[in-house]
Amino acid sequence: MIWHIAKRELYDNLNSLRFALATVLLLGLMLTNAVVHLREHPTRLQKYHDGVAEYQNRLKSYAAESLYKLAQKGPGDLYKKPSGLHFCAAGGETFLPADAEGGYGRWGLGGEPPLESFWILWYPSVTPNLANVRPDVTKVDWGFIIGYVLSLIALLFTFDSISRERERGTLRLMLANSIPRHTVLIGKFLGALISVSIPFTLAVLINLLVISTSSHVHLGAEVWGRLGIILLITLLYTCLFLVLGLLVSARVQRSAVSLVILLLAWVTLVVFMPNTLAAIAGGSSSSEAALGFSERSDQIHDELWREYASHRYNSGKSWPQKLEAAGEYVTKDAAQQERLHEERLKQRISQVNRARTLARISPVTIFQHLLESFAGTGFERHLQFLENVKSYAQQFRTFTVDTDNADAESLHIFGVREGMSQKPVSPEAIPKFEDTLSLSKDFNTAAIDLLLLMLFVIVLLSGAYLAFVRVEV
C-alpha cells in the first residue's frame, strides 16, 4: 500500500511544473560547479606542487651547507595539500591560510659569537580581501547547491502534499479506506523523496561525469568512497526538509499558509541563523590581552636579552661558557616566541570553534560541517593540517638534535654555529613533510554533526507522525 501511495505521489510530481523547474535549476548549478572546478583545480594543484618543490629545494640547499644552517633556518614553508573534492565544499578556503611557515627569520646579531635567531613555526594570517574590491560571493559548491537550493526545493515539493488533499477532500476519501495513517504519511514521504532525488541524481551524475572525464582531475577510490558518504549525508539532509514540509503540511489547513510558514522557517534556519549565530558567538569573546601581541613579544625578547647580556659582555667568562650561554639564549628565545604564537593561534581557534558550535543550531551549518569534513576542506581540515605541521616540526627538531649528537666533532651546544656540527647533511635523511588526510579522523570530527542531523530528522519525523495522527481531517 505504501508503494501505491508513493507511486501515485511520484506520478503527480513528475508531470508538475516544479519538477521541471527543479531539474533545470539543479542541472544548471551542477554544471556550473563542474566547469568551474575543472577550470580552477589545476591551478590550485600547480600552486601546491610549486610550493612543495620550493620547500624541497630549500631543504637541500641548507642541508648541503651544514647541519647548523639547517637547524637554524628550519624547513621553510609547509603547504596544505588541496583536496580533490574541493567542488563539494569550498569551505571558506580563501579565508584560511594555505601554508604554515617553518622558518621565520627574526633577527641577527653581530659580535662574538655572532648569533642568528632560530626558526619558529609561524602561522600567517590571511587577509586576501584587502585588495579585493569585487562583490561578495558564495561559491557555488555542493554545500551551496544542496544546503540552500535543494532544501528549498524539498520544501516546495512537500508543502502541499497533505494540505492540498485536505483542501480538495481526497484525504478524507483515502482515509475512509482501511489504510493506517502512518502508511499514508510514509507513502507520501517516500514519493516526495524519490521525486526530489530524480533531478538531483541526474544533476550529480552529470556533474561527476564532467569532472571525471577531464584528464587534469583524478578521482581515486578513496575519493569515490568519500563521495558516497557525502551523498548519504545529502539524503539525510533532504529527508530533514521533506519531513519538515510534511509536518507543517499536516498541521495547517491551507497550503498557502503552510508554504508561508515553511518559507519563513527556511529563511531563518538556512539563510540567517548560521551567520547571525556565528556573529554573536564570534563577537562576544574579543578577549584580547591587555598588551598587544607585538608588545608582549618585545617584552619577552627584552627580558631574555637582559638576562643574556651579562654573560655576553662579561670578559671574565671563558669562551665555552659564553657559547653555552648564547646557545641557551637562542633556543630559549625561539621556544618562547613560538609558544606566544601558538597561544595566539589557540585563542583564535577557540573563538572560531565557539562560533561554529553555536551555529550548529542550524541544520545547514551541520550539513556544511559534515560536507567539509568528508570533502577534506574547511576549518576542521585546517586544524588537521596544523596538527600535521606541529608533529612534523617536532620530528624535524628531533632529527637535528640527533644528527648533532651523532657527530663526534661537534661541541653539542645547540643554538650557535661554533657549537654545532658543521658537516653537510644528506638530504635523503631529513624527514619530509607529508600533509595527509585521514578518513578515520574525519569520522571522529563528523560524528557529533552526524548524530545531531539524525536527531533533527528523528524528532521531526515523530513530530510529523504525531501531528498527522491526531489532526482532524
Partner 1 sequence: MLTTLIRRELLDNLMTFRFAAAVFIMLLLVVANTAVLIKDYERRLASYNTAVKKNRKNLEETKTYSAVSLSIDRPPNPLSIFNVGLDKRLGNSLGVYYFYVPSLWNAGKHGSNNPLLNIFSSIDIVFIFEVVLSLLALVFAYDAVAGERERGTLRLVLTHPVRRGHILIAKYMSAMICLLIPLLMSFLLVLILLTTSNSVSLSTNDFLRSGGVVFTSLVYLSLFYLIGMLISTATHRTSTALILSMFVWGFLVLVYPNMILTAVETAPQGDTETSAYNQIKQIWEEFERERKQFLANDSVPGEDWDFGLGGKGYSFWGDEDDASSLHYFNYYTGFHYETLSKESEPQVPHAQDYHRFLGLQLVKTADRVWRVRNPALETIYVRPANMEWMLLKFSPVGLYDAATEAWTGTDLNGLQDFFTAVQRYQQAVVGYFLDKKIFESRLWFVADKDTIDWDILPQFYFQRSGIGINAKRALPALFLLLTINVVLFIGTFLIFVRREV
Q: Residues 28 to 47: which contact partner 1 by CB under 8 A?
A: 28-29, 32-33, 35-36, 39
State the minimum distance, in angstroms, from the CB of residue 122 to partner 1.
14
Q: Which is nearer to partner 1, 163 or 403 (CB)?
A: 163
Shortest spacing between CB 287 and partner 1, in angstroms = 11
Residue range at the interface with partner 1 (CB under 8 A); choices 87-95, 178-186, 214-222, 225-233: 87-95
Q: Which of 111-119, 242-250, 276-284, 396-404 is the region at the interface with partner 1 (rule: CB under 8 A)?
A: 276-284
Give the separation between CA 66 and CA 221, rounded to whole angstroms: 43
Q: Which of 10, 203, 236, 259: binder of partner 1 (CB under 8 A)?
A: 259
Alpha-carbon gap, residue 118 to 137, rounded angstroms: 41
- Closest approach, Cβ 183 to partner 1, in A, equals 25
Q: Measured from the CB of residue 145, what is the shortest distance to partner 1 in angstroms?
A: 9
- Rounded to the nearest angstrom, the gap between the alpha carbon of residue 306 and the centroid of all alpha carbons in its chain is 43
Q: Does 18 bind partner 1 (CB under 8 A)?
A: yes
Residue 126 engages partner 1 in binding (rule: CB under 8 A): yes
Buried b (16+ CB within 10 A) or exposed e, 31-69: eebbeebbeebeebbeebeebbeebbebbeebbeebbbb
Contact assessment for residue 48 and residue 82, using Cβ atoms and an 8 Å cutoff: yes
CB of 222 to partner 1, least distance (A): 26
Task: List helix spans (H) across 316-362.
Answer: 319-359
What one-character-per-residue DSSP string does 239-295 give?
HHHHHHHHHHHHH-SSHHHHHHHHHHHHIIIIIIHHHHHHHHHHHHT----SS-HHH
- Restricting to residues 373-432, name those near partner 1 by CB under 8 A: 378-379
95 binds partner 1 (CB under 8 A): yes
Q: Is 4 in the site for partner 1 (CB under 8 A)?
A: no
CB-CB contact of 431 with 73 (8 Å): no
Question: What residues from 197 to 256 belong to the interface with partner 1 (CB under 8 A)?
Answer: 255-256
Q: Is residue 315 close enough to count as binding partner 1 by CB under 8 A?
A: no
Binding of residue 148 to partner 1 (CB under 8 A): yes
Q: DSSP states of 182-229 as a string? A: HHHHHHHHHHHHHHHHHHHHHHHHHHHHHHHHSSS----HHHHHHHHH
Residue of 38, 45, 109, 149 interacting with partner 1 (CB under 8 A): 149
Helix or strand (DSSP H, E) at 388 = helix 378-406
Q: How many residues bind partner 1 (CB under 8 A)?
A: 72
Q: Residues 152, 171, 393, 430: which binds partner 1 (CB under 8 A)?
A: 152
- Interface region with partner 1, contact rule CB under 8 A, candidates 70-78, 219-227, 345-353, 455-463: 345-353
Is residue 210 a contact partner of residue 35, using CB atoms and an 8 Å limit?
Answer: yes
